[in-house]
């Protein structure tokens, strides 16, 4: 089995993290403001959210901090950024852009990130998760 799975640019890789599951890690140094990944999305409304919340997809969809812009409840983000783990002290955040082709999500460094450091962000929808899911803040290597 492969220990690390890289993206095409070899800038990031995925590996299993004890107590967290899969996580995204840097393979290069990212500076504050660097775009780590940009991905297309699929948005859905409250009705679809009620269905998705009953599935494992709940753990992978995004809620926008600027959700007043439109009536969509959440977004499935395609690409590696969909497995960025939560941290109360994150080193990245999601930046949203709306384009004629749809909504796009970018994960952007808000701190310098070193090689082999886990890329993390603060989840906005933690209250929606089942109580059985325990969030682990510390970075495990």
- Give me the tens of pLDDT residue by residue for the chain, a chain 141 residues long: 457 666 667 899 999 988 778 899 999 999 999 999 999 998 888 888 888 877 777 667 777 776 555 566 788 889 888 889 888 899 999 999 988 988 899 999 999 999 999 999 987 655 555 555 555 665 444
- Show Cβ contacts of residue 52 under 8 Å, excluding neighbours closer than 6 positions: 44, 58, 61, 74
Contact 107, 35 (CB under 8 A): yes
CATH superfamily, with its number, for domain 33-110+117-128 = SET domain (2.170.270.10)
Q: Which helix (DSSP H) or strand (DSSP E) does residue 37 occupy? A: strand 35-44
Q: In the chain, where are the structural domains located?
A: 33-110+117-128
Can you list the alpha helix ranges (DSSP code H) found in 1-141? 46-52
The tokens of 7 are what? 């993206």
pTM of the predicted model, to two decimals? 0.78
Contact 12, 92 (CB under 8 A): no
């Amino acid at each position: 089995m492969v220990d690390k799975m890289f993206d095409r640019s070899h800038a990031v890789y995925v590996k299993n993290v004890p107590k967290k599951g899969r996580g995204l890690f840097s393979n290069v140094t990212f500076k504050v403001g660097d775009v780590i990944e940009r991905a297309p999305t699929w948005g859905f409304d409250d009705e679809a959210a009620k269905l998705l919340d009953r599935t494992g997809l709940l753990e992978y969809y995004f809620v926008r901090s600027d959700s007043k812009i439109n009536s969509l409840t959440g977004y499935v983000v395609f690409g590696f950024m969909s497995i960025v783990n939560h941290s109360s002290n994150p080193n990245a955040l999601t930046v949203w852009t709306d384009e004629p082709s749809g909504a796009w999500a970018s994960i952007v460094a808000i701190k310098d990130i070193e090689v082999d450091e886990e890329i993390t962000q603060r989840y906005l929808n933690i209250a929606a998760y089942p109580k059985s899911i325990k969030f682990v803040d510390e970075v495990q290597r």
